[in-house]
């Protein structure tokens, strides 16, 4: 029966995770009202599941990957709820709730690995996984380019007033007449980030399912998987900082470049990953 409670908790964690993103990143009050109660329900079902699991095993220490992951997810959710109760903020939900969901997801499938009903279904999910991540990478690249063009346009405008007495424009900047206005570049940089984030989130979730089917719970120890989630956390931080601090210009460009650099490292990690060496369909 504990698997039933754990599966209910996994679904509730997923709902709480999805509601935490608009609640924190976009300050939508309705989503904020959904996030916390759903997280509390997920924690309660998770706690009942963990208690029943250990009780049936007649021990109080976890054994094996599945039990350790489940209890770690429970601990992360408990700390998030404690922070919410004491400090009244759900900001940490964008990190804690997806982490709890991913840690619970594999144990909730049961003792046996999930298997796709047919090779065609698996290939379809693989296409979805690759497509969403490539879209996220492309959006992040466009955001970085837009941020650097913002710097160039800003420098061009400043030179218009400082480099030549009485106005005018330095000849070295004439070739940059094609640059859009600063406001347009800023909106492009931010819009591409917003569009790429759900693509990356869905791509990683589908990838977790594919990895679980290939190697089981050990996928949490794969360098590619760890770097991918580190990139996702940086992406969340980039969105949050840009929105809360109104970040733009040089700092925004450096932050976008940092996330893009991690993305390149994640791409290179494919060479050392056991999870991503999928057999040909």
- pLDDT tens digits for range 221-268: 667 777 777 778 878 777 777 776 666 666 767 777 777 777 777 777
**How do residues 144-170 score in pLDDT, each as one tens digit?**
888 888 877 777 777 765 555 555 555
Indicate the average pLDDT of the chain.
77
User: What confidence tens digit (pLDDT) does each residue in 70-109 have?
Assistant: 888 899 999 999 999 998 888 888 888 888 888 887 777 7
Specify the higher pLDDT residue, 28 or 246: 28
pLDDT for 276: 59
Residue 110: pLDDT over 70: no
How far, rounded to the nearest angstrom, does the alpha carbon of residue 181 sit from its chain's CA centroid?
31
CB-CB neighbours of 25 under 10 Å: 19
pTM of the complete model: 0.69
* pLDDT on residue 15: 92
Residue 279: DSSP 8-state: P
Q: Are 272 and 224 in contact (CB under 8 A)?
A: yes
Instruction: Tell which phi-psi region holds residue 181, choosing left (phi > 0), alpha (psi between -120 and 50) or beta.
Output: beta
Angstrom distance (rounded) from CA 29 to CA 23: 6
Q: Where are the domains of the chain?
A: 1-112, 117-281
Question: Does 207 score more than 50 pLDDT?
Answer: yes
Cβ atoms 175, 155 nearer than 8 A: no
* pLDDT value for 48: 92
- From 111, 281, 128, select the one nearest 205 (Cα to Cα): 128
Nearest residue to 75 via CA among 55, 50, 54: 50
Predicted local distance difference test score (pLDDT) of residue 47 = 93
Q: How far apart, in Å, are the Cα atoms of 3 and each of 23, 75, 135, 208?
A: 30, 18, 35, 19
Full DSSP string of 3-30? HHHHHHHHHHHHHHHHHHHHHHHS--HH
Which of 180, 176, 178 minimizes the C-alpha distance to 159? 176
- The span from the CA of 185 to the CA of 190, in Å, is 9
pLDDT 10s digits, 232-245? 887 877 777 777 66
Sign (positive or negative) of CA dihedral 172, 174, 178, 184 = positive
């Amino acid at each position: 029966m504990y698997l039933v409670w754990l599966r209910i908790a996994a679904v509730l964690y997923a709902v709480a995770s999805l509601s935490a993103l608009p609640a924190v990143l976009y300050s939508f009050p309705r989503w904020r009202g959904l996030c916390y109660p759903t997280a509390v329900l997920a924690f309660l079902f998770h706690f009942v599941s963990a208690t029943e699991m250990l009780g049936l095993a007649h021990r109080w220490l976890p054994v094996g990957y599945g039990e350790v992951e489940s209890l770690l997810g429970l601990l992360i959710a408990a700390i998030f709820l404690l922070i919410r109760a004491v400090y009244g903020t759900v900001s940490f939900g964008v990190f804690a709730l997806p982490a709890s969901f991913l840690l619970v997801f594999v144990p909730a499938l049961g003792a046996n690995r999930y298997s796709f009903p047919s090779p065609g279904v698996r290939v379809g999910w693989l296409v979805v996984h690759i497509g969403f991540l490539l879209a996220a990478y492309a959006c992040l690249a466009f955001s970085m380019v837009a941020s650097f063009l913002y710097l160039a346009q800003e420098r061009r405008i400043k030179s218009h007033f400082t480099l030549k007495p009485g106005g005018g424009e330095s000849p070295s900047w004439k070739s940059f007449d094609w640059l859009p206005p600063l406001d347009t570049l800023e909106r492009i940089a931010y819009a591409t980030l917003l569009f790429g984030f759900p693509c990356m989130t869905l791509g990683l979730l589908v990838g977790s399912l594919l990895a679980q089917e290939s190697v089981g719970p050990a996928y949490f120890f794969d360098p590619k998987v760890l770097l991918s989630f580190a990139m996702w956390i940086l992406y969340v931080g980039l969105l949050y900082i840009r929105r809360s601090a109104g970040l733009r210009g040089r700092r925004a460009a450096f932050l976008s470049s940092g996330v893009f650099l991690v993305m390149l490292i994640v791409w290179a990690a494919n060479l050392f990953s056991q999870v991503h060496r999928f057999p040909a369909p």
